[in-house]
Amino acid sequence: MRHTHCLLFLLAGFLGLSHSQPGHESASTSNQTHKEVSQRNISGYQIASDNADFAFRLYHLIASQNSEKNIFFSPLSISVSLAMLSIGAVGDTQTQILEGLGFNLTKLSQLEIHEGFRSLQHTIARPFSELHVSVGNVLILSQGLQLLPEFASATETSYNSKVLHANFRDKEAAVQLINNYVQEKTQGKIRNLVSNLSPDVRMVLVNYIFFRGLWKKPFPFSGVSTRDFYVDENTVVKVPMMLQDEQEHWYIEDRRVPCTVLRMDYKGDAVAFFILPNRGKMNEVEQVLSPGMLIRWNRLLQNRFFYRKLTLQFPKFSISNSYALDEILPDLGFQDLFTPHANFSNINKGEKLQLSKVFHKATLDVNEVGTEAAASTGSFAIFLSARHKKRHLTFNRPFLLVIYSTSTQNILFMGKLVNPTA
């Protein structure tokens, strides 16, 4: 009788295993060394555009299914997890994962992609006194499960993965081990990632990302007051609203897209973009939201012309979202990933892997001191700007947000705040 085993993939997902199929060979690239790739100076920046493309494709798909709900996720966490998983995949399965993530395999080899992720994780985790970003991976193995040495070595080299052991027959203890590990690594931001485990679980792959940033220009605690937030035409909620009066900020009133874009800098090498659509224009702004549009806004907001005094009101809020990515990823090109056709025999030759569930959970807190979160440039003539005119900007209706690593030009988090009290 054939037994079914499960492999979980958390903070991007759950995996399922069964006994192996013969006749599959390891990817030919496994004979190359990471040292050879490192000598080519592959950087996280070189995979940034593909990561951004995946991030926006994923955002649009989630938004189409959750149009009236808060959205928040880490595209980087998901990309890192799936890229690490691809090391254990073979043939078409490996190609489907990497192409689903947006990579052109005629331009970048698989090892160049993995070296890019290694460089990216190393760069964003560089210690700054006031900016903390932590990205990591852990493999939690069932007793008796042996990883192929090539898989273990490659994931450790490129993704700094750690290995822990658990007795999955004791479901309560295994759940506690996983949740405690993720809670510790995200400094308490991600709790209860998994609540139940199948008795057939053999291995858990966990990716985590934690971000804590302090505003370069914090809001005064004395400026917080309760204000109205207009969720939609029929719903108004009360929120604590922060106030900065007459501070200089980077922002534009875009006449090409009906919105205002505010850039808030963190201490360190990260920024947040807050995109406030004009009233009733959220759908119109979302339709043009793309990597090219973010590049355009980013370039414009480095011009001193858009650094002006502003009276800014911004809500304090916390949001947390969980997604069953196995219901989303097939629509992004991962068609075979959750079927018996998937081949993950580079993890273990003796067992056939089948991806069953993929979960992702992310949280965000924005307050006075900062944030915690477990195209070409257009003509300046299209904007209305005046240094002498006093400006007011109030984020009291749904808006979009992107948290961005300036050192790697990668998107760490993105989402949409529809209701700060939900």
Beta strands in 36-169 (DSSP E): 71-73, 131-142, 162-166
Residues 314, 324, single domain; the answer is no
408 within a domain of the structure (yes/no)? yes
CATH number of the domain within which 277 lies: 2.30.39.10
422 within a domain of the structure (yes/no)? no
Residues 47, 161, single domain; the answer is yes
Residues 99, 173, single domain; the answer is yes
Q: What is the DSSP string of 380-414?
A: GGGS---TTS--EEE--S-EEEEEEETTTTEEEEE
Residues 219, 205, single domain; the answer is no
CATH number of the domain within which 13 lies: 3.30.497.10
pLDDT means over runs of 10, the chain (422 residues) = 44 27 38 41 78 96 90 92 91 94 92 92 78 82 82 89 84 88 85 77 78 90 94 95 91 95 92 96 96 95 91 92 86 86 85 69 87 39 39 95 92 95 91
Residues 371, 359, single domain; the answer is no
pLDDT at position 275: 98
The β-bridge relationship of strands 201-214 and 4-10 is parallel
Q: What is the DSSP string of 24-63?
A: ----GGGGS-HHHHHTTT--GGGGHHHHHHHHHHHHHHHH
Residues 81, 188, single domain; the answer is yes
Please state, in angstroms and as integers, the Cα–Cα distance from residue 191 to each residue in 133, 178, 182, following that order: 18, 10, 7
Residues 295, 272, single domain; the answer is yes
The whole-angstrom separation of Cα 302 and Cα 105 is 33
Residues 164, 33, single domain; the answer is yes
- State if pTM tops 0.95: no
Element holding 417 (H helix, E strand): strand 410-417
Beta strands in 215-354 (DSSP E): 225-232, 235-254, 259-265, 270-277, 307-315, 317-324, 351-354
Shortest CA distance to 180 belongs to which of 170, 171, 191, 169?
191
274 within a domain of the structure (yes/no)? yes
Q: CB of 275 within 8 A of CB of 136?
A: no
Residues 16, 99, single domain; the answer is yes
The whole-angstrom separation of Cα 118 and Cα 399 is 33
- The counts of H helices and E strands in the chain are 9, 18
The whole-angstrom separation of Cα 13 and Cα 16 is 10
148 within a domain of the structure (yes/no)? yes
Residues 333, 251, single domain; the answer is no
Domain holding 61, by residue range, is 4-210+320-363
pLDDT at position 144: 73
Element holding 373 (H helix, E strand): strand 370-373
Q: State the total domains in the chain.
A: 2
Residues 359, 372, single domain; the answer is no
The residue type at 12: A
Residues 301, 381, single domain; the answer is yes
